[in-house]
Structure 1
Amino acid sequence: MQFDTQLLPRINAKSQKENGKQYYVDDRGNRFPSVTTILNATKPQADRDRLLNWKARVGTEEATRITTNASRRGTQTHKQIERYLLGQNPICPEASLPYWESIKPVLEEIDTVRLVEGSVFHYDLKYSGKLDCIANYQGIPCICEWKTADKPKGSIEHLYEHPLQLTAYMGAANEYYRDYGIQLKHALLVVAIPEMPAEIFWFEPTLIKDYWNQWEKRVAEYWERRSVWG
């Protein structure tokens, strides 16, 4: 793996949770809602109905078990990827080994790592988040996001709001790190799946622009609702 000699400076941000919502606070005291908080607050009714129908179908207890396990495996796999990208040659925990074996061939095509698990802020649109990685994939600078799943997604449509999340992180990274020559135009979303090669979703600039327009509308909707809520 090739590491860039000009790693981006990390933002000293603190994570805060309040009423189930997540915020990040920078070292100047700016406190902005996270990307996921904004997406959850402005989720279309069709997506809310789909989630409620799924919970009704499997039962509340089973739904909680599934989401808890998914969150745990995602966290473990992210930590494994982080250690690998930072050159720490980690030993993978057994629970996340199937996901690690799925995604590692993709990671071997990642180089020039600029940032791993870094907080970002978009001061104009007033949102924040924590992105997975800024690096080169097959020689192209991009923002990277790692996901885990038990079965293939099959298409971008089945990624639901993950592309919006990815695009939001890109916009914040481009704004915050502009003076460091960061102007990302491509995005990579990789889904690790047990006993299968990871799914690779590559986003070209034209598609990113469409998602960015959607994201701007969601942010505007969030702050309009906040003004109504007081």
Structure 2
Amino acid sequence: MHFYRLSRYVALVWEPTNCSVITALLSCCTRTFSTTRTFSVRKKSPYSSVDSDRYSSLVKSVSSHRVSAQTPENLEEQDVQLYGPVVKSSTTANRPPSPAKLPKTIHPLLNQEKSFAPGESYYEGAPDRIILQRGQDRGAVPSVTRILQQTMSPEQQFFLERWRKKMIAQLGEEGFKEYSQNLFRQGKLFHTAVENVLLTTQEADTTDPGQEAEVPAGIEGCLNSIRHVLDDIRGVRAIESRVLHDKLGYLGIVDCVALYKGVLCVIDWKTSERSKPFLSNTYDNPLQVAAYVGALNSDVNYNYQVENGLIVVAYKDGSPAHCHRMSSELVLQYWERWLVRLDEYTEKK
């Protein structure tokens, strides 16, 4: 039976009427094989691996933002996106990493003569508010801001100067001066509004922060951005108050000292047009908070001490603010780095 079927198939294939069909099939298979080989050996285009979405979004973000959105930080980020990270020379890359700098004088962050404040939900007394005496304090004792500005790394100085020149080229000298003054005024208005909200909340003992506080025009977005943060702040102990580290010789003004989710913190309010979801995005702000913590603990005007910090980044478009909590361990790490910057400032003087 099997032999019979095989003979039938052979006969069918070799019928003269089916020869043309077989020839056509063989020709089709040959063309398909040839085409397949052609595609397989074709060179891959060097542009096929380019992430077009990535670069189109970059160009769109650069060209669509207003001038005020350009900052030294995002210029640095754009360079990394366009050109990649900085590659060091072979001689430098082969060297072992240099050890981290250590402060010449180790000074404790905490004050053994002070106790920690109890974690009550509400602080009955009025918040401390020590005014900075411009004639006595300024000039004789450097501020935290001045020390950080004068000890910036060469990379930070480069991007800051490049940003300044770019802004002057677009706005002119007078326009850039006015732009800087407007930023400063907006920051002052925002800090004043937050102060009013916190004081109103504490006096009224309400659970709806900002309900009765007046909001200045132009900062509604920033205040809406931090409303969920204000819900977790209680027991305000200091607002816009000067702190002085007499032994190390520097001063600063803390934005706020209060309980955040039950933990006493030095709170620093920041505004931004760009998202800063990570602590590293805030650059020298953690050093600033650590310096304030150390100065407050050393200052005799405060009968308590703090070991935690909080950086709140408010956004002008009203999107929820990012809260960067600094634990006692993290504050201590930044405190050591602050001491190094303080040494550098002293050496420059």
Normalised TM-score (structure 2): 0.57
- Matched AA of 2:332: K
Residue of structure 2 equivalent to 1:95: 218
Residue of structure 2 equivalent to 1:19: none
Residue of structure 2 equivalent to 1:11: 130
The Cα shift of 1:209 comes to 1.2
Residue of structure 2 equivalent to 1:189: 311
Unaligned runs of 5+ in 2: 1-120, 202-211
Give a deviation string over 1:167-223, Cα, whole Å, max 9, x none: 11111111115862x221211110111230011111112211111011111112212
- Greater fraction strand: 1
Return the alpha-carbon distance in structure 1 between the equivalents of residues 279 and 142 of structure 2.
Answer: 26
- Matched AA of 2:313: V
Q: 1:1-230 to 2 correspondence within 5 Å?
A: 3-7=122-126, 9-15=128-134, 24=137, 31-60=140-169, 61=171, 63-87=176-200, 89-177=212-300, 180=303, 182-193=304-315, 194-226=317-349
Give a deviation string over 1:5-58, Cα, whole Å, max 9, x none: 244654353125xxxxxx835xxxx93111101111111111100111222334
Q: Decide whether aligned partners of structure 1 residues 115 and 105 sit closer, same or farther in structure 2, where only a CA change above 3 A counts.
A: same
Return the alpha-carbon distance in structure 2 between the equivalents of residues 204 and 54 of structure 1.
Answer: 33
Q: Decide whether aligned partners of structure 1 residues 40 and 210 sit closer, same or farther in structure 2, where only a CA change above 3 A counts.
A: same
Normalised TM-score (structure 1): 0.84
Give a deviation string over 1:121-161, Cα, whole Å, max 9, x none: 00011000111011000001111010111121132222111
Q: Decide whether aligned partners of structure 1 residues 66 and 201 sit closer, same or farther in structure 2, where only a CA change above 3 A counts.
A: farther
The Cα shift of 1:69 comes to 3.0
Return the alpha-carbon distance in structure 2 between the equivalents of residues 119 and 145 of structure 1.
Answer: 13
- Matched AA of 2:290: T
Return the alpha-carbon distance in structure 2 between the equivalents of residues 78 and 152 of structure 1.
Answer: 19
Return the alpha-carbon distance in structure 2 between the equivalents of residues 143 and 177 of structure 1.
Answer: 17
Return the alpha-carbon distance in structure 1 between the equivalents of residues 341 and 151 of structure 2.
Answer: 6
Aligned residues: 214
Return the alpha-carbon distance in structure 2 between the equivalents of residues 8 and 176 of structure 1.
Answer: 16
Query: SS of the residue aligned with 2:226?
Result: helix
Question: Given that residues 24 and 34 in structure 1 are in contact (C-alpha distance below 8 angstroms), is that contact kept between their aligned partners in structure 2?
Answer: no
Return the alpha-carbon distance in structure 1 between the equivalents of residues 285 and 134 of structure 2.
Answer: 21
Return the alpha-carbon distance in structure 1 between the equivalents of residues 302 and 130 of structure 2.
Answer: 14
Return the alpha-carbon distance in structure 1 between the equivalents of residues 131 and 320 of structure 2.
Answer: 35
Residue of structure 1 equivalent to 2:14: none
Question: Given that residues 308 and 326 in structure 2 are in contact (C-alpha distance below 8 angstroms), is that contact kept between their aligned partners in structure 1?
Answer: yes
Return the alpha-carbon distance in structure 2 between the equivalents of residues 9 and 79 of structure 1.
Answer: 15
Question: Given that residues 143 and 170 in structure 1 are in contact (C-alpha distance below 8 angstroms), is that contact kept between their aligned partners in structure 2?
Answer: yes
- Matched AA of 1:14: Q
Q: Decide whether aligned partners of structure 1 residues 151 and 66 sit closer, same or farther in structure 2, where only a CA change above 3 A counts.
A: farther
Return the alpha-carbon distance in structure 1 between the equivalents of residues 158 and 177 of structure 2.
Answer: 17
Return the alpha-carbon distance in structure 1 between the equivalents of residues 168 and 329 of structure 2.
Answer: 40
- Matched AA of 2:327: E
- Matched AA of 2:311: L
Aligned-residue Cα RMSD (Å) equals 2.2
The Cα shift of 1:117 comes to 0.5
Return the alpha-carbon distance in structure 1 between the equivalents of residues 263 and 215 of structure 2.
Answer: 28
The structure number with the bigger radius of gyration is 2
